[in-house]
C-alpha cells in the first residue's frame, strides 16, 4: 500500500468571475521513503495540490473533492481535530518563503518547540533542548545561541534550515517541500539539497518535492509528475522523463533549460526553446486537451477530446493522443 495516494483530486475556488479549477482530476502515489517531484510552470496547481493534501484550503471559497489516502485513511473524511494531529507530525511542509512563514515576533527555538510540545507533550525545557538538537542537525552553527534569535537575525539560508528543522522535529512520514531552494544562491541551494537528502536517509521520510527547477528534479527525484493547467500530463521515473519525454509540454520544458556550453558546440549563440501561446483560463471549462492551444502537433481530435492518462511503456504515463509523434518531433 502506498504511503500517500491521491485519486481524482479536484480543488476549485469560487470567485466573482466564476469558478477557478486550480486542480482538476489529479492522481498520483508516493511510496514510503520515495522522493516524487511535482513540476510545471507557475500557476499549474503544484502548491494548491500540497495545500489540499494538508487541508489548508479555506472552504469556502475553496472546495476539495476526490480522495487523499494517507496510510489507508482518507484525509478528506477526517474531522478537523484529527487533521491537526497529522499536520506537523505525520505530514510536514517546508513552505516556499521562510521569511513570511516564520513568526517574526517569536524566537526560532520557540517556533520549533511549539511543534514538539503540541504533538509529543514535551515541557518547555525539553522542547528547547529538542530545538537545539534540530538546529544542530540541520547544520546551523552555535545552535545554543541561535535558538534564542528571531528570524530577521538569520540569513535566508539559515531561515530555510530552520523551516526544515521545524518540519522534521517530529520525524514525519511525509515531507512536502514547496520550492525549498527558491531565492537562494546556488551554493546555499546545493547545501539545502544535500541536507534534505541526508535527513531523508536519517528519518526515512518520503518527500514530495514541488519545484519548477528541473536541475533540482534531476538531482533529487526518483519519480516525476508533470502538471499543466491543473492536470497531470506525464508521469515517469526521472530517468525516463529526462531521457525520453513523451508529452509535448514536457519536451518544451526540457528544451527551455539552458545547457552549459551549447553556444560553443554550435559555434555561435543558440536560442532556448519557447513554448508559444498562453495557458488557458482556469475559469473556463476546458474541452479537449488543455495544451492544445500551444501544442506543435495539435489536431482537431486534440481540441475536441481530452486525452486519458495512459501507460505508454511500463511506469511511463502520458496524457496525449500522439505521444509517439511528440517523441519523433
Spatial separation of the C-alpha atoms in residues 325 and 297, rounded to whole Å: 8
**Same structural domain for residues 175 and 55?**
yes
Mean residue pLDDT across the chain: 86
237-283: per-residue pLDDT in tens? 999 999 999 999 999 888 877 766 655 555 555 677 778 888 888 88
- Quote the DSSP letter at residue 281: P
Q: Answer yes or no: is 248 within a domain.
A: yes
Q: Reply yes or no on whether the pLDDT at 144 is more than 80.
A: yes
Domain count along the chain: 2
The pLDDT of residue 164: 83
**Same structural domain for residues 314 and 250?**
yes
Task: Tell me the pLDDT band of 225, cut-offs 50, 70 and 90.
Answer: very high
All three cell numbers of 262, joined, read 551549447
Distances (CA, A) of 276 to 229, 248, 256, 279, 327: 15, 12, 12, 10, 18
**Same structural domain for residues 238 and 209?**
no
The pLDDT of residue 266: 57
All three cell numbers of 76, joined, read 478528506
Helix 108-120 × helix 156-168 angle, to 10°: 10
**Same structural domain for residues 303 and 177?**
no
- Quote the DSSP letter at residue 104: T
Q: Residue range 18-35: average pLDDT?
A: 92
- Burial string for 301-322 (b: 16+ CB within 10 Å, else e) reads ebeeeebebeebeeebbbbbbb
Q: Reply yes or no on whether the pLDDT at 43 is more than 80.
A: yes
Q: What percent of the chain has pLDDT over 70?
A: 94
Q: What residues have CB less than 8 Å from 251, skipping those under 6 apart?
A: 245, 326, 329
171-205: per-residue pLDDT in tens? 888 999 888 777 667 777 787 788 778 777 877 78
Q: Answer yes or no: is 265 within a domain.
A: no
Which of 192-196, 203-207, 214-218, 286-290: highest mean pLDDT? 286-290
**Same structural domain for residues 214 and 171?**
yes
The pLDDT of residue 260: 65
* CA triple 260-262-267, angle to 5 deg: 140
First to last CA, the chain: 38
| Residue numbers of the domain that contains 212 | 4-221
The pLDDT of residue 120: 80
**Same structural domain for residues 189 and 149?**
yes
Q: Residue range 291-300: average pLDDT?
A: 90
Cβ pair 69, 7 in contact under 8 A: yes
DSSP E strands: which ranges in the chain?
Answer: 4-15, 18-30, 35-39, 62-70, 73-74, 91-94, 174-178, 206-211, 223-228, 231-237, 310-313, 316-318
Distances (CA, A) of 6 to 28, 76, 185: 5, 11, 33
Question: Cell match 544562491: residue?
Answer: 185
Q: Answer yes or no: is 226 within a domain.
A: no
Q: Residue range 94-119: average pLDDT?
A: 84
Spatial separation of the C-alpha atoms in residues 145 and 128, rounded to whole Å: 12
Q: Identify the residue with better confidence: 40 or 168.
A: 40
The pLDDT of residue 172: 86
56-104: per-residue pLDDT in tens? 998 889 999 999 999 989 999 999 999 988 988 889 888 877 777 888 8
Q: Answer yes or no: is 209 within a domain.
A: yes
Q: Reply yes or no on whether the pLDDT at 130 is more than 90.
A: no
**Same structural domain for residues 42 and 113?**
yes
Q: Answer yes or no: is 175 within a domain.
A: yes
Q: Residue range 5-17: average pLDDT?
A: 93
CATH number at residue 29: 3.40.50.300
Three-class SS state of 149: coil
- How far, in whole angstroms, is CA 110 from its chain's centroid? 27
Amino acid at each position: 500500500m502506498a504511503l500517500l495516494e491521491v485519486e481524482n483530486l479536484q480543488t476549485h475556488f469560487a470567485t466573482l468571475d466564476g469558478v477557478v479549477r486550480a486542480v482538476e482530476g489529479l492522481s498520483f502515489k508516493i511510496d514510503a521513503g520515495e522522493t516524487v517531484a511535482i513540476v510545471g510552470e507557475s500557476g499549474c496547481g503544484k502548491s494548491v495540490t500540497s495545500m489540499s493534501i494538508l487541508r489548508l484550503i479555506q472552504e469556502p471559497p475553496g472546495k476539495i473533492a476526490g480522495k487523499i489516502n494517507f496510510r489507508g485513511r482518507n484525509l478528506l473524511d477526517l474531522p478537523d481535530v484529527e487533521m491537526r494531529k497529522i499536520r506537523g507530525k505525520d505530514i510536514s511542509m517546508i513552505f516556499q518563503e521562510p521569511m513570511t512563514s516564520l513568526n517574526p515576533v517569536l524566537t526560532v527555538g520557540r517556533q520549533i518547540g511549539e511543534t514538539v510540545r503540541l504533538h509529543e507533550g514535551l515541557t518547555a525545557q525539553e522542547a528547547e533542548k529538542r530545538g537545539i538538537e534540530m538546529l544542530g542537525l540541520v547544520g546551523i552553527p552555535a545552535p545554543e545561541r541561535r535558538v534564542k534569535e528571531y528570524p530577521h537575525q538569520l540569513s535566508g539560508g539559515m531561515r530555510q534550515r530552520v523551516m526544515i528543522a521545524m518540519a522534521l522535529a517530529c520525524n514525519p512520514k511525509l515531507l512536502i517541500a514547496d520550492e525549498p531552494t527558491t531565492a537562494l544562491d546556488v551554493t546555499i541551494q546545493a547545501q539545502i539539497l544535500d541536507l534534505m537528502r541526508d535527513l531523508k536517509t536519517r528519518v526515512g521520510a518520503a518527500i514530495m518535492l514541488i519545484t519548477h527547477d528541473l536541475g533540482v528534479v534531476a538531482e533529487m527525484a526518483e519519480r516525476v509528475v508533470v502538471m499543466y493547467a491543473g492536470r497531470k500530463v506525464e508521469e515517469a521515473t526521472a530517468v525516463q522523463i529526462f531521457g525520453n519525454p513523451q508529452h509535448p509540454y514536457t519536451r518544451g520544458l526540457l528544451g527551455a533549460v539552458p545547457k552549459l556550453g551549447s553556444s560553443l558546440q554550435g559555434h555561435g549563440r543558440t536560442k532556448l526553446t519557447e513554448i508559444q501561446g498562453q495557458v488557458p483560463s482556469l475559469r473556463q471549462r476546458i474541452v479537449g486537451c488543455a495544451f492544445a492551444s500551444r501544442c506543435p502537433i495539435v489536431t482537431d481530435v486534440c481540441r475536441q477530446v481530452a486525452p486519458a492518462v495512459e501507460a505508454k511503456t511500463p511506469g511511463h504515463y502520458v496524457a496525449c493522443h500522439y505521444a509517439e509523434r511528440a517523441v519523433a518531433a
